[in-house]
Amino acid sequence: MSDDLRLMAVHAHPDDESSKGAATMAKYVSEGVEVLVATCTGGERGSILNPKLQGDAFIEKNMHEVRRKEMAEAREILGVKQAWLGFVDSGLPEGDPLPPLPDGCFALKDVDEAAEALVRLIREFKPQVITTYDENGGYPHPDHIMTHKITMAAFEAAGDPARYPDAGEPWQPLKVYYNQGFNRPRTVALHEAMLERGLESPYGEWLERWKQFERKERTITTYVPCADFFAIRDKALIAHATQIDPDGPFFKIPMEIQQEVWPTEEYELAKSLVDTSLPEDDLFAGIRDN
């Protein structure tokens, strides 16, 4: 049955697929599920976040090409297929007041127009399940918020023959999920596990900052067991060398602690056209038996 299952993960930039739900994708690939990552932008306005590479003139000049190569390596590690939707990175506006977004960028596109590219890909790949970000983008990057908008629009439109008639034969996905991997319960559990073992936690300041913001906790509906694939997740993330420091805080929790304390990746079921019982441990719950 897994040979007939298809999962699409819609992400804003190259590297997002490796930091959000990567172990889940690797798990499903190992089971024979076909997995496709849809990358909305090329990440060309991204900053060099790895301090070891900052100041590299070649990377700064050729960010688009560098990030495409990083994405190619990461998708090979994960065993997934990947497609570019072709939009231009909006960048993360900084300052007070915030500067306007650059002309022609992804976040300024008309949602209905931008959704057509994703509808076309959905109709071609025919996924039963789609994952993306919640209405806040997971965090308020304009490209992440726009990714949410076009994914939800495409989910509704892909099965309607009256919508985007030139974008292929209609196909209706059955479920759409929001990635919720960076949630408070997980962070607290890993933080406390480190302290209990007499180790320094990288999450102390993070949790303190979290207290400063009024943030409604999301409803986690689905916990996918994928601890055996955490190492693949990390390898894929490190492949995005411009975006991640392999010696940084992201990798400070020993693997055996992660696998013991929090062996899942988490999702919020946003829409389902099939019956399912919550909580779930499978993105294809309600689909495998039908």
Please enumerate, by residue number, every residue annotated as part of a binding site: 13, 16, 144
Q: Which two tokens stand for residue 27?
A: 């798990």
Who contacts 276 (Cβ-Cβ below 8 Å, separation ≥6)? 175, 269, 285, 286
- Residue 34 has, within 13 A of its CA and on its CB side, a CA count of 10
Q: Which residues are annotated as a binding site for Zn(2+)?
A: 13, 16, 144
What is the widest separation between alpha-carbon atoms in the chain? 61
Whose tokens are 């933080």? That residue is: 191
| Best CA proximity match to 46, nearest among 109, 104, 90 | 90
Amino acid, single-letter form, for residue 115: A
- 7 neighbors 283 (Cβ within 8 angstroms): yes
| Residue 75: φ, ψ to 5° | -70, -30
Residue 74, Cβ density class (10 Å: 0-12 exposed, 13-18 middle, ≥19 buried): buried
- 119 neighbors 158 (Cβ within 8 angstroms): yes
